[in-house]
Structure 1
Amino acid sequence: MTTPSKLRDLDPATVHDDLRAGRILLVDVREPQEFAVERIHGAMLFPLSTFDPAMLPQDPGKPIVFQCGSGKRSAMAAAKCREAGIAVNAHLAGGMMAWKAAGMPYVSLDSATGQVVDRR
């Protein structure tokens, strides 16, 4: 399999539109406790601490886009894929910080009540 060499930085609007249309698989590489506190609707959890590129779902019709808190760990996950010969080269530039700054919807945990809140 040919692996791309350059990481593609995707903006929140592009990721949102592609995720909503079912054109991508969004993979969150943060840790489970971070994912529980806040997450993007439709993202799958594959923590970087136990990340194995060979275990990623394979769907030629839906390219994988990585996501984390700031963009650093998602870039690391893409690098691990390149090293393993897996063709994944896109991530949400700026991660959750950029996503929230752009006003995109997400799910979070209200620390005062423990309730899950849909943030739109």
Structure 2
Amino acid sequence: MAVESLTPEGARERIAQGAVLVDIRAADEFAREHIAQAHHIPMAQLAARQLPAGETGAVIFYCRSGNRTRINAVALGACAPGDAYVLEGGLDGWKKAGLPVVSDASQPLELARQVQIAAGSLIVAGAVLGATVSPWFHLLSGFVGAGLVFAGVSGFCGMARVLLKMPWNRNPLAG
């Protein structure tokens, strides 16, 4: 099934006509910010779950920037019960068009961003300390860089596992 692209304004019109809006991002991304009318079904769960049926059967998919939905357009179209659309520019495009979103700043940053911040900080610290204190500190930058390469190749990120255990990433309701 062909998947068409919709502008944020076009998507808002389709939603008003009964189309269903589906956010395919991870749970941590959705919790921090999303479009109010959106149903949250992460990309990995789409094939296993039945999509909510709107009045028109049309489904509009979105992610943060539109890249994930564009890359996965064929798979998304196959999951839709009727016409399938992707939101141009994703959530960022929706906000740029001045349309409202639900934000919860008390939610932690997305895990991928936390990893980027921590890894980048450690690499810079290793480089600065290696240049000013002792060349041995360059090993820190090399170790973190090697960890990032390993994470990219294997799909296992030790830093992400450690960050998930931090207090700000714990769900107090999970017990």
CA distance in 1, matches of 2:75, 2:84: 10
- Match of 2:164? none
Q: In 2, distance between residues paired with 1:26 and 1:55?
A: 14
Moved more, 75-84 or 42-51: 75-84
Query: In the TM superposition, what are the counterparts of 1:19-98 in structure 2 within 5 Å?
Result: 19=15, 21-52=16-47, 55-59=50-54, 61-82=56-77, 87-98=82-93
Tell me which amino acid in the other structure corresponds to 2:63: C
Identify the residue that residue 9 of structure 1 maps to in structure 2: 5
One-letter amino acid matched to 1:10: L
Range 29-38 or range 79-88, more displaced:
79-88
- Greater strand fraction, Structure 1 or Structure 2: 1
Output the amino acid matched with 1:13: E
The answer (yes or no) to whether the contact 1:31–1:47 under 8 Å persists in 2 is yes
- Where structure 1 has 5 or more consecutive residues not aligned to the other structure, the ranges are 113-120
When Rg is computed on C-alpha atoms for both structures, the one with the higher figure is 2
Would you say the 8 A contact 1:53–1:80 is kept in 2? no
Corresponding residue of 1:100: 95
Larger helix proportion of the pair:
2
Q: Which has the bigger relative contact order, CA under 8 A and spacing at least 6?
A: 1
Distance 2:79 2:11 in 1: 24
Q: Partners of 1:85 and 1:25 in 2: how far apart? A: 10
Measured in 2, the distance between the counterparts of 1:86 and 1:62 equals 6
TM-score normalized by the length of structure 2: 0.53
Contact 2:63-2:90 within 8 A present in 1 as well: yes
Equivalent residues, number: 107
Looking at structure 1, the residues matched to 32 and 72 of structure 2 have their Cα atoms a distance apart, in angstroms, of 21
Identity of aligned residues (%): 31
Q: 77-86 or 45-54: which moved more?
A: 77-86
For normalisation by structure 1, the TM-score amounts to 0.73
State the Cα RMSD in Å.
2.5
Change (3 A) 1:92 1:84: closer
Question: Contact 1:29 / 1:77 at 8 angstroms: preserved in 2?
Answer: no
Looking at structure 1, the residues matched to 79 and 97 of structure 2 have their Cα atoms a distance apart, in angstroms, of 33
Structure 2 counterpart SS, 1:55: coil
Distance 2:78 2:57 in 1: 21
Look up the equivalent residue of 1:101 and give its one-letter code: K
